[in-house]
Structure 1
Amino acid sequence: MSRGVVFDFAGVVFRWRPLELLQQVLPQRVPHEDAARGIAASLFQSFEVGSDWACFDRGTVGEDELVARISARTGLAASEVRAVVDAIPAHLEPQAPTVALMRRLKAAGHRLFFLSNMPAPYADHLERQHTFFEWFDDGIFSARVQLIKPEPAIFQEAARRFGLVPADSVFIDDHAGNVEVARSLGWQSVQFLDAAQVESDLRASGWAVAD
């Protein structure tokens, strides 16, 4: 058993700005941010466990079923929902400051891992597109284990599979609920606001970061 740094993906390593995404993809539906906020709440349901999108993240619902479910529930045309679903992989662009932080943590000798709520088609896309996946010793995409954050089971599976001692390892996520659950299970946990803040928090906790 050992220590390591575990990164969430969307909102941490990769850009995730759903309001901006919706304004780009459905400009006729979301002409301003307030409209985008309403559509986002209906479409994504805050990714709550049991929601349509959480089932997609878990890998128990495929793209076609997801589109049909959301369209029936929200009244959005299936073509509109499909446009959003199809646009997300390209939207998930790497956040350069976080990538730089990962590089410097790796250079300092730390083992890197990821723990991401991510549907299978998006996971496949990210792995094909980004060479920095080779920096990770291992990682878990939710759809591939049919577990999702914030369920304790996915954190327990991560510790087991990665061979980590949670108390000696740190988990980084932008969602407070995920951070709180990880902390309750004994992980060191940092809520991501930006890469500079995470680096400061890591250094304060004794994690070396290469210059």
Structure 2
Amino acid sequence: MSMIKSSAWSDTLLDASTVDTAIVFDFGRVVFDWQPEALLSRVLPRRAATPETAAHWVEQIFQSYQGDWGDFDSGQVEVPALIERIARRTGLDEAEVMAVVDAAPASLTPLSGTVALMKRLKDAGRSLYFLSNMPLPFAEHLERAHPFMDWFDGGVFSSRVKVNKPAAAIFDHALKQFGLPAEQVLFIDDHGPNIEAAKALGWQAVQFVGDAELERELIERGLIV
């Protein structure tokens, strides 16, 4: 589906200095819940039978979203090659790895508090965008599954531009695609290095720790009332 839409700006009582501020959301653990330990406990119950073994296999499979999984996020490797690489590296059966990859997109469930804040921002006339490290099959699933994806005026998935956060190139690409100057953007992400990378490039940025804290921040900035 097309992710680029025109924004319907509305008259509000918000401070004039913030009228043009656009909000850019990360997805994992900000808009969508992501609990890989719970995923592995459900899909690989024999392997991930305890919190300790679940944490072990999370590190082995996802590699802190570097390595094989980082290549998947950046669109450098497709599912069949990813399965083969992870199985060979970890000793898991290919069927086990495939089960994890197949189950992962649906395990990205909306965080209701953040979605409610997004609705308030949209109702206040704010332009919403996203910038997310996300494998292509997962991105396509999210676009199909969630009607609120239509609220976004645009977005960048790492797998479609072949580079991951926190590389400067993906932030530069996002600004060009959105047609925005860095100072006009407020970026919300849960991962500290991504926040620091954005700030170094002149973006406004807030580290996400929860929807209540984000609500306070947005009110203080005059972005919602």
TM-score of Structure 1 vs Structure 2, range by shorter chain: over 0.9
Q: Which amino acid aligns with 1:136?
A: F
Q: In 2, Cα distance between the equivalents of 1:128 and 1:13?
A: 16
- The answer for the alignment partner of 1:56 in structure 2 is 72
Distance apart, 1:167 and its partner CA:
1.7
> Which of 86, 92, 95 is matched with 2:111 structurally?
95
- The answer for the alignment partner of 2:84 in structure 1 is 68
Alignment of 1:38-187 (within 5 A): 38-48=56-66, 51-187=67-203
Distance apart, 1:207 and its partner CA:
3.3
Q: Which amino acid aligns with 1:33?
A: P
**Deviation string for 1:93-149 (max 9, x for gaps)?**
111111000000111111000001111111111111111111111001111111111
Contact 1:148 1:154 in 2 (8 A): yes
Contact 1:3 1:165 in 2 (8 A): no
Q: What is the DSSP-based 3-state SS (H/G/I as helix, E as strand, rest coil) of the residue aligned with 1:20?
A: helix
**Deviation string for 1:35-57 (max 9, x for gaps)?**
11111111111012xx1011111
**% same residue:** 50
- The answer for the alignment partner of 1:6 in structure 2 is 24
Q: In 2, Cα distance between the equivalents of 1:46 and 1:82?
A: 19
Larger radius of gyration: 2
Q: In 2, Cα distance between the equivalents of 1:33 and 1:176?
A: 25
Distance apart, 1:89 and its partner CA:
1.0
> Which of 193, 199, 202 is matched with 2:215 structurally?
199
Distance apart, 1:203 and its partner CA:
2.3
**Deviation string for 1:143-177 (max 9, x for gaps)?**
11111111110001111110122222110111111
Contact 1:3 1:166 in 2 (8 A): no
Q: Does 1:190 pair with 2:206?
A: yes
Q: What is the DSSP-based 3-state SS (H/G/I as helix, E as strand, rest coil) of the residue aligned with 1:139?
A: strand
Q: What is the DSSP-based 3-state SS (H/G/I as helix, E as strand, rest coil) of the residue aligned with 2:209?
A: coil
CA RMSD of aligned residues (A): 1.1
Structure 2 unaligned residues grouped into runs of 5+: 1-19
Q: In 1, Cα distance between the equivalents of 2:186 and 2:157?
A: 18
Q: Which amino acid aligns with 1:85?
A: V
Q: Does 1:27 pair with 2:42?
A: no
Q: Which amino acid aligns with 1:66?
A: L
Q: In 2, Cα distance between the equivalents of 1:167 and 1:32?
A: 46
Q: Which amino acid aligns with 1:191?
A: Q
Q: What is the DSSP-based 3-state SS (H/G/I as helix, E as strand, rest coil) of the residue aligned with 1:147?
A: coil
Distance apart, 1:208 and its partner CA:
2.0
Return structure 1 stretches of 4+ with deviation > 2 angstroms.
none
**Deviation string for 1:47-104 (max 9, x for gaps)?**
12xx101111111100010010000001111111111000011101111111000000
Q: In 1, Cα distance between the equivalents of 2:23 and 2:173?
A: 15
Structure 1 unaligned residues grouped into runs of 5+: none
Q: In 2, Cα distance between the equivalents of 1:203 and 1:4?
A: 15
Q: In 1, Cα distance between the equivalents of 2:217 and 2:223?
A: 11
Contact 1:118 1:143 in 2 (8 A): yes
